Amino acid sequence: MSNETVLDIRVLNHWFGSGGARKQALFDIDMTLERGSFTVLMGPSGSGKTTLLTLAGCLRGVEEGSVRLLGHELRDAPEAELTLLRRRLGFIFQAHNLHESLTALQNVVMGVQVRPGVPDGLARLAAARALDLVGLSDRMNYRPANLSGGQKQRVAVARALVGNPAMVLADEPTAALDKDSAADVIDLLKRLGAARGTTTLLVTHDNRILDRADRILTLEDGRIVSSDIGPAATRVDHGEQTGTTSSH
C-alpha cells in the first residue's frame, strides 16, 4: 500500500473555442490519484472524460486551476518539460495507434527508445519480455495488419507498460474488442499495473470492466457527479489491492 500522490487536480476548469463560441467543458474538477490505483472514468459522450484525460496526460494546456503530475505543475509548464513528463506515462488509445510499418516488437521498442541512451539490444530485450507478458511472444515479428483487434490492443498495452510508466492513461481500450478480448486486455492492465505499482486512469463506456476498478468516477456535463469505491477496492479492504483514488 502506498499513499504517494501521482496526479493531483484542483479546481480545474477548461474551455473550448473562443469569443461567442467559447464553451466550458470542465467545471471545478478536483481529483487525486495515488500510486497503484486503478480508476475508471465514466460518463456520457461529451461529458468531458477525454478532455480530462488529455489534460492529465500533458497533451493539452491547463487554462485554469491546477494539475500536478508526479510533483510537476502542468499549468504554464514549458513544452519541453511536458514532453519529458509524457515519457513517464503510458498511453493506450481506442484505435491502438500502432505504427503500421513496424512489427509488434518494433512498436514496443518505440516505447523504450523514447528514453535516450537505451541500447538497442536492451530495448529489444525489454520489448520482447513485454510482449511475452501480454502473451504475444509468437507474434513479435507480425505487423499490425496481421494481428487481430485483441492482439493489437495487447501490443498497445505492452508498448504502454514497457517503459515502467508511473501512470497509464487509457481511452476506451476495449471499445473495439469482443467480450473475451476486452476482459483479457483489462486483466493485463490490472495485473501488470499492480505488479509495477502503476497508476491507471481509464476512460470507458464499458460496464463489463467496472468490477476491476478501485474507484469509479462519473462525469456529467463537465462535472464529477459521483465518486464510488469500485468492487476491486472493496477487495483492497481485504488486503488484495494497493493504491487509492479520491475526488473532492
Partner 1 sequence: MRRLLQWIFGRLPIGWLQLTHKRGRFLAALSGVAFANVLVFVQLGIMNSMATATLKPYELFEADIMISAADANALAEGSNVARQWMLQAFADPDVVAGMGLFVGNAPWDRGDTDITFTTFGIDPGQPGFVAPAIAGDLALLQVQDVAIIDRLARGLPRDEAAAIRPQTPLSFETQGRTLTALDTFAGGGGFGGDGYMFVSDQTFLSLFPARSSAAPDHILLRLRPGADADATIARLGTLISADDLRIRSYDAAAQEDLRYQQTQRPTGVIFGFGVLIGVLVGLVIVYQVLSADVADHLREYATFKAMGYGPRFFLGIVVEEALVLGLLGFLPGLAVGTAILTLMGAITTLPLSMTPAMALMVFIGTVVFSVLSGVIATRRLSAADPADLF
Please give the Cα distance from 174 to 181 (Å, whole number). 8
Q: Considering the complex, state which of residue 75 and residue 246 has its C-beta at the smaller distance from partner 1.
A: 75
Q: Considering the complex, state which of residue 129 and residue 179 has its C-beta at the smaller distance from partner 1.
A: 129
Q: Considering the complex, state which of residue 88 and residue 212 has its C-beta at the smaller distance from partner 1.
A: 88
Question: CB 1 → partner 1: shortest distance, Å?
Answer: 29
List contacts with partner 1 (CB under 8 A). 50, 53-54, 57, 59-60, 80, 83-89, 91, 93-94, 97, 99-102, 106, 109-111, 113-114, 120, 171, 203
Q: Considering the complex, state which of residue 88 and residue 244 has its C-beta at the smaller distance from partner 1.
A: 88
Question: CB 240 → partner 1: shortest distance, Å?
Answer: 31
Question: CB 171 → partner 1: shortest distance, Å?
Answer: 5
Mention every residue, 6+ apart, whose C-beta is less than 8 A from residue 205. 42, 172, 175
Using DSSP's 3-state secondary structure scheme, residue 117 falls into coil
The order of strands in the sheet holding 89-92 is 89-92, 167-171, 199-203, 38-42, 215-220, 223-229
Provide the grid cell at 101.
Answer: 510499418
Task: Give which of 54, 32, 16 is closest to 224, Cα–Cα.
Answer: 32
Give Dmax (Cα) for the chain.
Answer: 55
Provide the grid cell at 247.
Answer: 475526488
Question: CB 191 → partner 1: shortest distance, Å?
Answer: 22
Q: Considering the complex, state which of residue 109 and residue 194 has its C-beta at the smaller distance from partner 1.
A: 109
Q: Which amino acid, residue 44?
A: P
Question: CB 101 → partner 1: shortest distance, Å?
Answer: 4
Q: Classify residue 214 by its DSSP letter.
A: S
Question: CB 235 → partner 1: shortest distance, Å?
Answer: 30
